[in-house]
Amino acid sequence: MIVENENVTDQEVLSRLRWAARRGMLELDLILSPYIEFAYLAAPQAEKEAFHALLKCEDQDLFNWFIKSKPADDAHQMMVDKILLVKKQIAQQQANNTSLPSQELTMILDRNNKFDQSVLMQEISKHWLCDEQMIVEKLAKQAALTDKERLSVQDIASGLVANVRETRLSKSGLDAFMTKYDLSSDEGIVLMCLAEALLRIPDKHTADKLIKDKLTSANWHEHVGDSEYLFVNAATWCLMLTGKILKPGQYQNKFKGVLKGFLDKRSRPVVRRAVMHAMKVLGQQYVMGETIDKALKRAQEKEAMGFTYSYDMLGEAATTKADAEYYYNEYRQAIDAIGFAATKNSVRTNPGISVKLSALHPRYEVAQADRVHTEMYPKLLKLVELAQRYNIGLNIDAEETERLELSLELVSRLAHETSLQGFEGIGIVVQAYQKRASFVLDYLIDLAERTGHRFMIRLVKGAYWDSEIKHAQVEGLEGYPVFTQKCYTDVSYQACIKKLFANGKHIYPQFATHNAYTTALVMQLAGDYRDYEFQCLHGMGDALYDHVVGKDNFNIPCRIYAPVGTYKHLLPYLVRRLLENGANSSFVHRIVDEQTPIESLVEDPVEKAKRLGFKAHPQIALPVNMFGEERMNSKSYNLNDTRTLEKLALQMSQFDRDDYVAKPLIKGVDTSKLTAENIFNPANNQVFGKVYHADKAMAEKAMEVAHNAFDAWSLVEAEKRADALDKCADLLEENMPKFMAIAVREAGKTLANAVNEIREAVDFCRYYAAQARAEFAAPKTLPGPTGELNQISLHGRGAIVCISPWNFPLAIFLGEVTAALAAGNTVVAKPAEQTPIIAYEAIKLLHQAGIPEDVLQFVPGTGEEVGSTLTQDPRVAGVIFTGSTEVAKIIQQTLSAKKGAIVPFVAETGGQNVMVVDSSSLPEQVVRDVISSAFDSAGQRCSALRVLYLQEDIADNVITMLKGAMDELKVHDPAFIETDVGPVIDQEAQANLKAHINNMRQSAKLVHEMSEDKALEKGNYIYPVVFEIDSIHALKREVFGPVLHIVRFKATELDKVAKDINSTGYGLTFGVHSRIQETVNFFKKHIRVGNIYVNRNIVGAVVGVQPFGGQGLSGTGPKAGGPFYLHRLAVERTISIDTTASGGNASLMSLEQ
């Protein structure tokens, strides 16, 4: 950010500096604010000029300059001294238990030490989403083999495959099982569902429903007896509920009898026990033991053969502080147990442990980096120091790509700990499917060299590929963090192998693979070098390494990655492994499939990549092209990239002002004599800008102008209208930092929500532009008799009034306006009274994009004066409204009473939105989705969750987890990246919510509420709160804020639940969490709502993907962002032409005989 004018006002410096000082992580203003607010204005000019110099710093240089750089002159030195003095004063205040919390202060002052600004870290960041072809071409050169090397690798690999196939009968029971039940079959899907859900269900009723739901939907009898593998048939019969192996003649009749018997309630306990046993048999193949002691005992057989182990304490990521503490203690106990069993002198020969960082902290994410460093890092350090004491290795597992740089920060801190100097057991997992894997190795190699360590690096392919692809698409990222072609991951792995072997002094390589080609490649490239190991997953591809480990084979050590935990905790892990290895493309699957030619299993991936031209997968378009030729996907910011945050903060700082103005934009109307009213920032109730409200006469004039402009506008081609909307979308993306800054301060949006707000507005522009081209550009020819041409076409209605809400002040505002314009109408737009500024700026963009000023009028004002005037006007051709049900009814009555034509009224109103959760659901997923559905945007979404129905068998458990997850939320100023919940819109909304909460305290059971922060008293904050009520009928109207109500229900009461929900009359959004398709189908059939969500949250509908709108008291339809929306805003015209009027029927007569 540059200060162009040296005579910049003090106020500008203050506002810009507040943003600049936040340097992306948006925290440093807590330190600077005492100085900025109280000292700056009284400072001498030289000191002020030093602050001006601060504003000239860009990107990461800003932060380093702030704390550490050598002052360039006396003025600079004066400022730095002043800042250090302020820090000291605040530290003294903290020592006296006043002012700033010590944890925050520590993190603010210490953040520079944890944020790596090195060139190598910047290379990692730069290649996060880089061009796939570019990086693959580069990696292919690094991975290239000589012809001699390639032939040698293929010869070794072919021998391994042949040996595995020869011995698979005794060694690969599970491989045979996954060959039989691959994920392309119904039976494979059934296995997934049963294994994922059954063992955690506490009640018999739901367990029986799941078993029936899954087993009766698959064709198990087709597989009985057609495999020579004992394990396959045993598991088949367990899964078919017999519990024993039968003779071939009994198969068919027995299977029919089992299913018939299942329908008999008397046989269900036997059936249930058999299936439970089957799931445990399946689980044993993947899990080493339910306790670490059992796992260590079971490991002795393989250890005697030359294998060693790395143990992983299974479990989901921590959702609560209690979860994190539990997993931490599990890791500590496991390290003690492994340590006692470790008898070798080296970490490389002793067993080790793998640690998942997301299990150690419920908020292991970039936005909460400071908490991660203060709360989680000390625990991680203690675990590593404990491993050091026992001389065993500790590997930090790789997780989602968005956590990578944060994990490297933690590794860097470990490497610099004096207590760990000389310890060679710090392990890091690197995922080859990431485009930046090679750069991660560069960073770790350099870090090891600088700190005197020798890291253990486990090189893996990666286990989150599908979720990474989806995440990039949903978030609108500029590219994918992973390769879209599988062979490119193999190329990356091959290049990384070479890099690891080239740096053996600082790295102990650990190659995790089940691929015979990769195994052979490693041994070929290693030559006589032996200081490395292979790794494999317990229960998968064992036969491969039985031909590698031991003196009778290649004598290369292999470490088995061994999951440890109860079956309840193993389920998510088990399913991920099944998904990864049951798929037909998996090497584990294909190595035992004799239908797969050996030649295809041992092909050099570099050669395959060359044949593909190094291009991305043709069926996986970049996120921006996700919607094909119809339209572009909206762009976004990667808020998990700290450098992106820095740049975004500096860009947004240019718009951190309090002099914004919104005023009527009506062609030919003078607004200079209007009186201004203040617009307040809901986070602190400080003035953000001013609005000049239109009066009744101006509203009437706006209608007149729009009405008169319609004739000319209706003749403008649909293509030209669409072009203007596409141009507006482009302008929105170009001005994203500006609109984000306004959304944060005017509407109280968090940074993530501000990004999504602009993206949704962009999507509306492009979607309706595409609809205009498809539906309005040309008439549609209809079938009819020969000799006639019959066509139907769509046209605008006239002047449409658009009245929008404050909760999506840009997205819904532009959604309404652009839909009306796309359909060929003129528009008079009235924004919400609380948020006129962002709407005003949007109208200016539409005018800039080519929408004529007389076609689009902007009239901010009150509903009582402006709103009623517009809806009563006889010239109005239609009204689009988003807001409360009560106001919608008033508008409906007004329209019915007005003179003139009957006009369409499109209303999207409130909802009593419900989520139903049965006992087959995954509690961690439920809680995550409830938190986002109920509390994101401070509960101020039309679709937000208001009532949570919990099956009574799991209610206590889910509620306990929900309470813990709520305590991890951050309620704060939305300008801070770590904020989860911002303010409600104004003091009136705050007062209404407080009144409801007080009423609930008297009439309902308080489940949990977050504690208040006195530092936020000036803002309009409502802290998330949960009550338990007896019935949804206790709620008389929608509660528009972060207040959740819980109702318990019995497993047998689904009919009653559906009737109670429907009886409210609302019908906007509904969610169900269940693994039972019968239950999902029941609600799909019986719940009368506009949007149903299954096993996910119920907010965040995407334009053109999940068209949004309700029924009953929740709206009129059609759905916004859907294919029928523009039709409601148009008139239809049919034309019928007799094509034979001027002669014979030429087309008929010319037909060939």
Catalytic residue numbers, as ranges: 908, 942
- Cα 74 to Cα 62: distance, rounded to the nearest angstrom: 19
Question: Which residues lie closer than 8 Å to 829 by C-beta, 6 or more apart?
Answer: 801, 802, 804, 813, 816, 817, 839, 843, 856, 857, 858, 859
* Cβ atoms 80, 25 nearer than 8 A: no
- Cα 247 to Cα 967: distance, rounded to the nearest angstrom: 58
- Provide the b/e sequence for 566-588 (b: ≥16 CB within 10 Å): ebebbbbbbbebbbbbbbeebbb
Q: Tokens at residue 351, please?
A: 């067993």
User: Exposed, middle or buried: residue 739 (CB in 10 Å: 0-12, 13-18, 19+)?
Assistant: buried
Handedness of CA 322, 323, 324, 327 (dihedral sign): positive
Q: What is the largest CA-CA distance in the chain?
A: 103
What are the angstrom distances between the C-alpha of 540 and each of 297, 564, 578, 1043?
19, 15, 10, 47
* Cβ atoms 825, 1127 nearer than 8 A: no
* Cβ atoms 786, 1148 nearer than 8 A: yes
Report which DSSP code applies to 374: I
Report which DSSP code applies to 199: G
- Cα 640 to Cα 977: distance, rounded to the nearest angstrom: 10
- Cα 140 to Cα 144: distance, rounded to the nearest angstrom: 6
Question: Which residues lie closer than 8 Å to 1085 by C-beta, 6 or more apart?
Answer: none
- Cα 628 to Cα 619: distance, rounded to the nearest angstrom: 11
Q: Which amino acid makes up residue 760?
A: E
* Cβ atoms 941, 1029 nearer than 8 A: no
Q: Tokens at residue 447, please?
A: 């870090």
Q: Which amino acid makes up residue 1065?
A: G
- Cα 377 to Cα 495: distance, rounded to the nearest angstrom: 32
What are the angstrom distances between the C-alpha of 833 and each of 404, 662, 836, 1104?
43, 11, 6, 28
User: Exposed, middle or buried: residue 179 (CB in 10 Å: 0-12, 13-18, 19+)?
Assistant: buried
**Where are the extended beta strands (E) located within 345-454?**
352-355, 394-396, 426-431
Say whether the peptide bond before residue 783 is cis (omega within 30 degrees of 0): no
Beta bridge partners of 429: 458
Closest CA to 805 of 712, 869, 887, 717: 887
- Please state the φ and ψ torsions of residue 396, each to the nearest 5 degrees: -90, 115
- Cα 977 to Cα 24: distance, rounded to the nearest angstrom: 8
User: Exposed, middle or buried: residue 713 (CB in 10 Å: 0-12, 13-18, 19+)?
Assistant: buried
Q: Do the strands 826-830 and 856-858 form a parallel or antiparallel pair, or are they unpaired?
A: parallel
The three state secondary structure string of 667-726 is CCCCCCCCCEEEEECCCCCCEEEEEECCCHHHHHHHHHHHHHHHHHHHCCCHHHHHHHHH
Question: Which residues lie closer than 8 Å to 352 by C-beta, 6 or more apart?
Answer: 308, 309, 310, 311, 338, 387, 392, 393, 394, 395, 425, 427, 559
- Cα 1011 to Cα 1025: distance, rounded to the nearest angstrom: 10
